[in-house]
Structures are given as C-alpha cells and as structure tokens.
C-alpha cells in the first residue's frame, strides 16, 4: 500500500516535469525564433528572401550579404563610435559609483541620508522628463552634434550609485576598522581594501552600464545629426530609412545580426554577474 502510494506520487511528479519541459520548450522556441529568422534572412540571396512558404535554411548561403550590407553605410565607423562611447561611459560610471557608493555605505557625514534620498527619488525620473532642459543645456555648451553630449551627462547615475552602495553594505565593517588601526586613511581603504573585494560589483555594474550605453537610442537620436558621429542604433535607423522603398530585408537582417552579436557575447560571458545585478537591485531594492 505504502509503496503504491509513493510510486503513484512519483508518476504524477514525472508527468508534471514532462509537462513543464514541454511548456518551457515552446516558450524557448518562441524566444529564439526571431533570432533564427534574422540570421536565416541575413544569409539568403535576394531571390530567396520573398519565398512563400518561408524557408529557414537558405538553399544558397549568401555570406556576401554581410559585406554588401556593411558597405552601404559606414558601419565600421558606427561600431567604433558605439564601442568607444560605451567604454568611456562605463569607466566613468564605475569610478563615480564606486567612490560614492563607498562613502554612502560606510562613512558618516552630515547630509548623507538626505542626499541619498535625493538619489533614490531621481531614479523614478525618466530621461523623457529631462529631455528638453538637457537639450537646451547641451546646446548652450555647444555640445549638440558632438560625442560630449552622449558621454559627459552619462558619467554618473543614481542607479549605479545605488547598486554600489547596496554592495558595499554587505562588506564586513571590520575590514575598514582593522585598516584604520593600521594607520590607513580613507582613500587608502577605498583603493587597497575595498577595491580588491569589489570585483563582482564592478563586473555587474560594468556589464549593465556598457549594454545600456550601447543600446541607448532616444538621446543620441536627438543629440547627434552628422553621419560620422552616429552610433549603431542610429546607423540601423538610417539604414532602415534609406532602403525603405525596395527593402532588401537580407541586408537589413545582416546589419541587425552584426549589431546584436557583441551583446550576446557579453551576456553569455558575464551572465553570472548580470543575473546577480538584477536580483540584487530587484529584491533588496
């Protein structure tokens, strides 16, 4: 009796597991389908793009599409711009967030809590609300249509500061106290004691900021006009608009594949840190 009861229960669990797998798989396919379709179209020669019913595997693989697509607009230039802008912003935000995060989490000074509250409050102010004043400010600095407009306003962020502070709160206070007794000043502590144990924070924050800056669209759309200064998202839009009439989807998909690829690589390599960042800011925030 006892045995039959357990085996029936196991059978039910097994059926549940199989059901779960099927649903997870269906959703997995739905999530991947656009990527597969993008890649598939990007490799089709022109006469195979508009076939019906659609084929996933092209009869003739046209690697040439990539070269041709990237020749139509200065994509190498956009890539360079995007990478150097995103890298500069990442380094800047790591620096400002790390230092301020330490001070907010571990040092006492008057006004600290009020100031941090202001940081928290601005986290709910979206870019769209700041758009007009920011544009007017950039215009008065003569930074419109320069990379300064993209980089300098992004060198600090409330979100990065918040994440850094949350991380610093988890480091044992004894580390600082021991270093103080050994005669370290606070700047020594930051760079010699805290920095080495903050690698997970820097990895998480770095990946987030880089991906965010690389994907940024609305502000560059407003701030940049000249073609040589454009970033990848702006380049894709330019491509989309330029070829609107004949729409060579294979070229457009090739350009999209190339722009997505760096993100996929970064995410797969840094997934551990990325997931941790989401969970920390999501559950403890």
Partner 1 sequence: MDGLTKKLYKLIDTEKYAGYILILPNVIFFFIFFVYPFLSVWFYSVTDWDLFSPLKFVGLSNYIKLIFEDDLFRKVLFNTLYYSFVAVPTALFVAYWLALLLNRAIPGVVFFRTIYFLPNITLMVAAAIVFSWIYQPQYGLINYILQKIGINGPNWLNDERWAMPAVIILENWHALGYPTLIFLASFQGIPSELYEAARIDGANWWYQLRYVTFPLSTPAIFFTLTTSLIGAMQTFDSFFVLTRGGPAYATTPISYYIYQNGFEWLKMGYASAVAGVLFIFIMFITLLQWKLRERWVFED
C-alpha atoms less than 13 angstroms from C-alpha of 69 in its C-beta half-sphere? 29
Q: How far is the CB of 70 from partner 1 (least distance, A)?
A: 14
Q: How far is the CB of 249 from partner 1 (least distance, A)?
A: 5
Q: Judged by CB under 8 A, does residue 23 bind partner 1?
A: yes
Single out the segment in contact with partner 1 by CB under 8 A; choices: 22-30, 59-67, 83-91, 166-174.
Answer: 22-30
**Which of 79, 83, 135, 148: binder of partner 1 (CB under 8 A)?**
135
Site residues for partner 1, 57-86, by CB under 8 A, read none
Site residues for partner 1, 216-245, by CB under 8 A, read 217-218, 221-222, 232-233, 236-237, 240
> Could you tell me the two tokens for 262?
């760096």
Q: CA–CA separation, 71 vs 74, rounded Å?
A: 7
Q: How far is the CB of 197 from partner 1 (least distance, A)?
A: 17
Closest-CA residue to 135 (of 223, 218, 226): 223
| Angle of CA points 243, 249, 254, to nearest 5° | 100
- Rounded to an integer, what is the distance from CA 69 to the centroid of its chain? 25
CB-based contact 164:98 (threshold 8 Å): yes
Q: Judged by CB under 8 A, does residue 181 bind partner 1?
A: no
Q: Judged by CB under 8 A, does residue 114 bind partner 1?
A: no
Q: Judged by CB under 8 A, does residue 215 bind partner 1?
A: yes
**Which of 59, 68, 139, 242: binder of partner 1 (CB under 8 A)?**
139
Q: Judged by CB under 8 A, does residue 6 bind partner 1?
A: no
CA distances 95 to 101, 206, 275, 278, Å, are 10, 10, 22, 20
Q: CA–CA separation, 140 vs 131, rounded Å?
A: 14
Site residues for partner 1, 33-52, by CB under 8 A, read 33-35, 37-38, 41, 49-52
Q: Judged by CB under 8 A, does residue 133 bind partner 1?
A: yes
């Amino acid at each position: 009796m006892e045995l039959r009861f357990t085996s029936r229960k196991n059978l039910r669990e097994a059926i549940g597991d199989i059901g779960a797998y099927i649903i997870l798989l269906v959703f997995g396919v739905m999530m991947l389908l656009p990527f597969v379709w993008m890649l598939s179209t990007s490799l089709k020669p022109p006469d195979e793009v508009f076939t019906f019913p659609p084929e996933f595997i092209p009869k003739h693989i046209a690697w040439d599409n990539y070269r041709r697509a990237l020749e139509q607009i200065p994509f190498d230039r956009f890539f360079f711009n995007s990478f150097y802008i995103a890298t500069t912003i990442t380094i800047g935000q790591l620096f400002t967030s790390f230092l301020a995060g330490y001070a907010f989490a571990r040092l006492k000074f008057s006004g600290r809590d009020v100031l941090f509250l202001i940081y928290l409050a601005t986290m709910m102010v979206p870019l769209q609300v700041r758009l007009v004043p920011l544009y007017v400010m950039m215009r008065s600095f003569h930074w419109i249509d320069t990379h300064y407009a993209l980089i300098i306003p992004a060198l600090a962020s409330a979100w990065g500061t918040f994440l850094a502070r949350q991380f610093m709160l988890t480091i044992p206070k004894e580390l600082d106290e021991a270093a103080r007794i050994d005669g370290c000043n606070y700047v020594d502590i930051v760079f010699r004691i805290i920095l080495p144990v903050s690698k997970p924070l820097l990895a998480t924050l770095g990946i987030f900021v880089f991906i965010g800056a690389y994907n940024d669209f609305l502000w560059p759309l407003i701030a940049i006009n000249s073609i040589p200064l454009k970033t990848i998202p702006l380049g894709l839009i330019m491509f989309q608009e330029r070829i609107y009439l004949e729409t060579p989807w294979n070229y457009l998909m090739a350009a999209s594949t190339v722009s997505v690829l760096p993100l996929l690589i970064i995410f797969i390599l840094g997934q551990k840190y990325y997931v941790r960042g989401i969970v920390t800011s999501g559950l403890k925030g």
